[in-house]
Amino acid sequence: MANEKNRFNQLDKFGHVKIDKLGNAMVRGFHVLALFAIGGTIVWSAAFAFWGMVSVGHASVEDILLLFIYLELGAMVGIYFSTNRMPVRFLIYVALTALTRLLIGMANVEHIDIQAAISTPHWGLVIVTVGVLLLSFAVWILRYASFHYPSDRRVGDKKPSGDEEMG
Rounded alpha-carbon distances, angstroms, from residue 151 to 31, 145, 159:
25, 10, 11
pLDDT of 117: 60
End-to-end alpha-carbon separation of the chain, Å?
Answer: 64
pLDDT of 26: 92
- Alpha helices, DSSP H only, in the chain? 2-56, 61-83, 88-109, 114-119, 123-148
Rounded to whole angstroms, how far apart are CA atoms 38 and 70?
A: 11
pLDDT of 159: 46
Rounded to whole angstroms, how far apart are CA atoms 12 and 83?
A: 34
Number of other residues whose CB lies within 10 A of the CB of residue 31 = 13
Query: C-alpha dihedral over 130, 133, 135, 138, to 10 degrees?
Result: -130
pLDDT of 64: 93
Output the tens digit of pLDDT for each of the chain's 167 residues: 566 667 666 666 767 778 888 888 999 899 889 999 999 999 999 999 999 999 999 999 999 999 999 999 999 998 888 888 877 888 999 999 999 999 888 877 656 666 666 666 678 888 999 999 999 999 999 999 988 888 765 555 544 444 444 43
pLDDT of 160: 42
Instruction: State the pTM of this model.
Output: 0.67
Residue 162 DSSP one-character state: S
Rounded to whole angstroms, how far apart are CA atoms 27 and 11?
A: 24
